[in-house]
Structure 1
Amino acid sequence: MAGEDEAGGDKTEAATQRHLDQARDEGQVPVSREVATFASMAAVVLVLGFQLQTWLRHLLPDLIIFLSRSGETIMPDAGLLRLTSLGVLGVIVPVLCAALLAGGASVVLQTKFLLNLGGLQPKVSRVSPAAGLKRLFGFNGLVEVVKSLGKLGLLVTAMWIAIRGDWFGLTRLPWQDPHSLLSAIVRPVFHIFIAAVCIQGIVAAADLMWVRFRHARDMRMSKQSIRDELKDTEGNPHIKARIRRIRVMRARRRMMAKVPAATVVVTNPTHYAVALAYDRVNNPAPRIVAKGADSLAARIREIAEANNVPVVANPPLARALYRLDIDTEIPAEHYKAVAEIIAYVWRLRRPGQAVL
């Protein structure tokens, strides 16, 4: 098992951001169709809730005429039929437009405004019978069947609960006066819509979580794939580590080359060593030209003593200066302590002698 994993056969690792971005560029993003359905249904209910009374007030007289003459074989007047048809279209078109806009907006928001035309290109796998059977009888197909059956059961239950109080009135509709027929069915129909939207909202939330979980699972990578991607994006890690070591060694050599010209080396006395250089003519304050800890501090002390650079032990000051960056001037709060050390060194320094 470990061998397979090292060979890159098992996808056990979460996808990297680069892998997700590449999949997104190819149009692979988690999109829930149930969310789009919920958005469309909610838009329809909102439009009906705000405009239904106005539409019924304009359409009701014409529809009553049709309902009252439903048993006759003679067609109504052509002008009345045209006006009524236009009125019905005036109701249907805004509802359809609202549903389409809401559904499209939900998809765009889920994809974060991704527009990928690659999905429109024909693919043989889409018309392959084997691929179709695999999608139909595979795990995802089974999930879709269970989801559809569960959704249908929830919708039927919710609709029954919604119209249970109106059921007696609905059974009497065939014997009611046509003038009161439409007003009698508005309330139960609206209850059905509300129940359907609520259930669809629950289904959409569950489906959105499932779609995102499935997408994250499908995007998983093997350890070898992550290593290959790291090499492609950042280069070989071994080479990069070697380059970093070379840079550190060169920077350290340049730093050590400045120790012989330092004014003084402040030590801990064993753990830290900080070399300071001060030129009263060119620099307003002493500068840190080298610093090190442990073995590097010992090396700085050796170079300083070999080149007759004074070495002064001051543990608090050495620790404070060690936290500063190389080739920077010391801050004002350390002026007094450093000035005392430099003055002391200038007074006592003799050719060939180090101050301990």
Structure 2
Amino acid sequence: MAERDPEKTEKATPKRTNKAREQGSVPKSAQLSKTVVLIAGYIALRMTFGTINAEMSELWRWSFGPGIATDITPERVMAIMFMMSKHLAAMLLPLLLFVAAVAYVTLRLQVGSLWQPKIFKPDWSKVLKFNFGAVIGAFKLDPRKLFGLGRQLGQATIIGFAPYLVLKKEFPNFPALFYYDAPGLATYFLGMAQTMMLYSFVPMVLIAAADTWWSFHDYNENLKMSKFEVKDEHKQAEGDPQVKIKQRQNMMKFMQLRMIKQVPKADVIITNPTHFAVALRYHVIEAAAPVVLAKGADHMAERIKEIAREHNIPIRENKPLARALYKDVEVGEMIPEELYQAVATLLAQLPKFKRQQG
């Protein structure tokens, strides 16, 4: 098992966690499931104790009752086998179904809704490839290995010690079992099984709690990321700032190029005169008021004026009007009503509109 990278100190991001989950990696404690199943088995055994006892007595009667030794026929054997199956199913099926349901719920509570078919796909490269590093690493001390070893030893000790205590306590009563009938033996051994399970509960719960904490802690530690990885992921999620700047610059160039192509259609260029330039067009059929075809500041303003000169478009200086048009009116919009008078006065002075008035 590889050592953790000391640079990975940052908590895993949701994207990293979701990716691990998609690959079938989720925090779960096998010991917790075992302990819950053990407790569920004890509860189920207590709940079905009477039924199991009655079914075992009936099974004993059918298997070893009067007539079995003197009347052995194929039909009798088939009947006994059928009854054995019936009584075994009646005894074990409710118990197994209850324990299975509890195990399923416990697993779902730990891992949630997880179904990734690709995790069942065999990776033959891992099977066929001999990893010398893994063999060498197996002999290295690792906190996870030590914890796992201690957990297994503790579990084995508890599982072995609980029956030992019960058997030691009940050993003096064993000779008397030869005088018990079938129902009595069933009651005795079922009770002893319950006692063994009960003795195991407290230590098993403690081990399960420690294992659950360690499983989640170890899972989160393994998913930790370096600061560079977190930064790189955020960059990918939000988009590379450099790429965004480049895209914005390209968009601005495209808009400016399209705007410049509209300048030759203008009727007049209103300037600041050095900082702003706004190209206006007014045609009664096209719009109810003059429309801003292009506008620019500094270098772009000079470019607009240059194109205007090339196409003999009038350039008029009006600092307040140029500033107001540049700040308040977007390209393609009509001028607002509060600027009608100022623009109308300026347009009326142009030769084109003088001829229209004449």
TM over 0.5: yes
Partner of 1:258: 262
Paired position in structure 1 for 2:294: 290
Please name the residue that 2:338 is paired with.
Answer: 337
* Counterparts in 2 of 1:312 and 1:301: CA distance versus 1, 3 Å: farther
Say yes or no: does 1:30 pair with 2:28: no
* Distance across 1 between alignment mates of 2:278 and 2:37: 72
1:261–1:63 Cα change, 3 Å? same
For 1:8, the equivalent position in structure 2 comes to none
Q: What's the secondary structure of 1:120's corresponding residue? A: coil
In structure 1, the partner of 2:49 is: 56
Deviation at 1:55, TM superposition (A): 1.2
Relative distance call for 1:12 and 1:151 in structure 2 (3 A) is: closer
Q: Deviations over 1:84-135 (max 9, x none)?
A: 644443255325533664576578747x432106642433546736355145
Q: Judge conservation of contact 2:23–2:119 (CA < 8 Å) in 1.
A: no
Instruction: Name the counterpart of 2:347.
Output: 346
Matched, 1:115 2:117: yes
For 2:35 and 2:214, the matched residues in 1 are separated by 17
State the shift of 1:281 in Å.
0.9
Kept in 2, the 8 Å contact 1:44–1:98? The answer is no
Distance, in Å, in 2 between the alignment partners of 1:345 and 1:249 is: 31
Q: Do the aligned residues in 1 keep the contact of 2:23 with 2:116 (CA within 8 Å)?
A: no
Shift of 1:20: 6.9
Q: Report matched runs for 1:123-162 at 5 Å.
A: 123=125, 125=127, 128=130, 130=132, 132-134=134-136, 136-137=138-139, 142-149=142-149, 151=151
Match of 1:70 in 2: none
C-alpha distance after superposition, 1:253-294 (max 9, x if no partner): 332232233245566665554434332212245443223233
Q: For residues 337 and 171 of structure 1, do their structure 2 counterparts lie closer, same or farther at Cα, with a shift above 3 Å needed?
A: farther
- The one-letter amino acid paired with 1:31 is V
Would the aligned equivalents of 1:126 and 1:132 in 2 still touch at CA under 8 Å? no
Q: How far apart in 1 are the matches of 2:261 and 2:215?
A: 66
Can you list the C-alpha shifts for 1:172-196, whole angstroms capped at 9, x where unaligned?
5556797577568747835844763
Q: Partners in 2 of 1:41 and 1:266 — Cα distance?
A: 84
Residue 308 of structure 1 deviates from its aligned partner by 0.7
Contact kept? 1:261, 1:277, Cα under 8 Å: yes
Partner Cα separation in structure 2 for residue 279 and residue 45 of structure 1: 88
Equivalent position to 1:203, from 205, 211, 235: 211
Distance 1:206 1:300, change over 3 A: farther
Alignment-mate amino acid for residue 279 of structure 1 = H
**1:60-98 CA distances to partner (integer Å, 9 max, x unpaired)?**
4566999xxxxxxxx965969766644443255325533
- Find the aligned partners of 1:52 and 1:86 in 2 and give their Cα distance: 15
The structure with more radius of gyration? 2
Distance 1:39 1:12, change over 3 A: closer
Read off the aligned partner of 2:116 and give its amino acid letter: L
- Say if 1:272 and 1:319, in contact at 8 Å, map to a contact too: no
Secondary structure at the counterpart of residue 137 of structure 1: coil
| Conservation of the 8 A alpha-carbon contact between 1:273 and 1:292 | yes
- State the alpha-carbon separation in 2 of the partners of residues 47 and 351 from structure 1: 100
Asked if 1:281 corresponds to 2:285, the answer is yes
* TM-score between both structures, scaled by the size of structure 2: 0.57
Q: Which runs of 5+ in 1 are unaligned?
A: 1-10, 67-74
Question: Could you say what secondary structure the match of 2:344 adopts?
Answer: helix
Number of residues of Structure 1 aligned to a counterpart in Structure 2? 304
The aligned residue for residue 98 of structure 1 is: 101
- Amino acid of the structure 1 residue aligned with 2:297: A
Distance 1:182 1:39, change over 3 A: closer
Q: For residues 335 and 48 of structure 1, what CA distance do their matches in structure 2 show? A: 84
Q: Which amino acid aligns with 1:54?
A: M
Secondary structure of the 1:123 match is: helix
CA distance in 2, matches of 1:352, 1:183: 112
The CA RMSD measured in Å over matched residues stands at: 5.6
Residues 34-45 of structure 1: pairs in structure 2 closer than 5 A: 34=29, 37-39=31-33, 41-42=35-36, 45=39
Q: SS at the partner of 1:38? A: helix
Cα pair 1:258 1:290 within 8 Å, conserved: yes
Aligned partner of 1:346: which letter?
A: L
CA spacing shift, 1:100–1:259, aligned 2, 3 Å: same
Deviation, 1:154, is 8.0
Which residue is 1:312 aligned to? 318
Supply the AA of the counterpart residue of 1:93: L
Q: TM-score, normalised by structure 1?
A: 0.57
